[in-house]
Chains A and B, each alone.
Chain A
Amino acid sequence: MKLHLTRRYAFAAAHRLHSPALTEEENRRIYGKCCNPHGHGHNYSVEVTVSGPVDPATGMIANLTDLDAFVGREVLDAFDHKNLNEEIPVFRTAVPTTENLCLEIFTRLRAFPAARLEHVRIEETGQNSFEYAGETQGSAR
């Protein structure tokens, strides 16, 4: 029986979309308001999906207490109420778009020991979402 367990988390953070590889005009043209120099913020919603066999003793793929603790330690503690550009090392160089955020959060969660990480889906606002399932991932939703 193929089962996926999804838990939704939230964090609030500031960011600014700006690439040093582009001119100021290009930055403004590409990123628009997101390029304003002092940054802005979002309430991010992060869905973390894991899979694996259901332990007959617990009825669970993974204990939510363990998943919550892992996501808290690896992601939420580092991201919540922070400035992504300033406080997450990878975004000192990479632009903190939600695409890149998916990649960074997936990388941080890949090592979850109790189940296989299937994908990470992030809503930057209620109107847009991004999803990353790893490079070699091929499972259908």
Chain B
Amino acid sequence: MEGQGNSDWGSMIYLTRKIEFSAAHYYHNPAWTPEENRRVFGKCANLNSHGHNYVLEVTVAGTPDPVTGMVLDLKELKEILEREIMERMDHRHLNHEVPELAGKIPTTENVAATIWNLLQPKITKGRLHRVRLYENPDLFVDCYGDGQ
């Protein structure tokens, strides 16, 4: 039936789900003087904080299950993203309320890498391929873990 005679059947598919969360942060290196912090981090060094509407695209690679036709159930991915990311980061302060970011400067690079580390062990069907985190439409970071 489906796929018979299609030589691409069983090939790798990349599936992406998008979520949005809003969070506050600031950039501050405690080893530096206030002047150094301001010089390197500019407006982001304001200790009163500012915030962003982050957009997160999570891409999972895998071959569709021959019975369901799915790499993984989107509902399951939605629940993982809700539990691991939304509950941790949405309407939170990244410097003060996210233990995984403690001691790190919550740049888009570090937040994307943290999200990779949170999601990678939870995705057991297919494998996490890429985490793309937009801080705003003109700035994003792609994280591929330790591989591609």
Do B144 and A2 touch (CB < 8 A)?
yes
Do B104 and A3 touch (CB < 8 A)?
no
Does B31 belong to the interface (CB within 8 Å)? Answer: yes
B108 (CB) vs chain A CBs: closest residue: A5
Which residues on A sit within 8 Å (CB–CB) of B107? 54, 58-60
Give the docked Cα–Cα distance between A9 and B113 (Å).
24
Do A59 and B139 touch (CB < 8 A)?
no
Does B109 belong to the interface (CB within 8 Å)? Answer: yes
With A57-B31, A58-B105, A58-B107: A2-B139 Cβ-Cβ less than 8 Å: no
Give the docked Cα–Cα distance between A9 and B137 (Å).
10
Task: Return A65 CB to nearest CB of chain B, in Å.
Answer: 6
Do B141 and A4 touch (CB < 8 A)?
yes
Does B69 belong to the interface (CB within 8 Å)? Answer: no
Do B105 and A1 touch (CB < 8 A)?
no
Give the docked Cα–Cα distance between A79 and B96 (Å).
43
Which residues on A sit within 8 Å (CB–CB) of B113? 1, 3, 54
Kindly count the residue-residue contacts between A and B in the assembled complex, taking CB atoms under 8 Å apart. Answer: 71
| A86-141 interface with B by 8 A CB criterion | 139-141
Do B27 and A59 touch (CB < 8 A)?
yes
Do B147 and A2 touch (CB < 8 A)?
yes
Does B54 belong to the interface (CB within 8 Å)? Answer: no
Task: Return A76 CB to nearest CB of chain B, in Å.
Answer: 13
| B5-22 interface with A by 8 A CB criterion | none
Which residues on A sit within 8 Å (CB–CB) of B146? 1-2
Does A12 belong to the interface (CB within 8 Å)? Answer: no
Which residues on B sit within 8 Å (CB–CB) of A49? 142
Do B106 and A3 touch (CB < 8 A)?
no
Task: Return B94 CB to nearest CB of chain A, in Å.
Answer: 11
Which residues on B sit within 8 Å (CB–CB) of A59? 27, 104-107, 109-110
| A1-31 interface with B by 8 A CB criterion | 1-9
Give the docked Cα–Cα distance between A141 and B108 (Å).
18
Which residues on B sit within 8 Å (CB–CB) of A36? none
List 4 tightest A-B contacts by C-beta distance, closest first.
Answer: A59-B105, A59-B107, A8-B138, A4-B142
| Additional A-B contacts beyond A8-B139, A64-B139 (19; CB < 8 A) | A2-B143, A3-B112, A3-B142, A3-B143, A3-B144, A7-B139, A8-B137, A9-B138, A49-B142, A54-B107, A57-B29, A58-B27, A58-B105, A59-B109, A59-B110, A60-B107, A60-B109, A63-B40, A141-B142
Q: Can you list 24 contacts pairing A with B, beta carbon distance less than 8 Å?
A: A1-B113, A1-B145, A1-B146, A2-B143, A2-B144, A3-B112, A3-B113, A3-B143, A4-B142, A6-B139, A6-B142, A8-B139, A57-B32, A58-B29, A58-B41, A58-B107, A59-B27, A59-B105, A60-B105, A60-B109, A61-B109, A63-B40, A139-B148, A141-B142
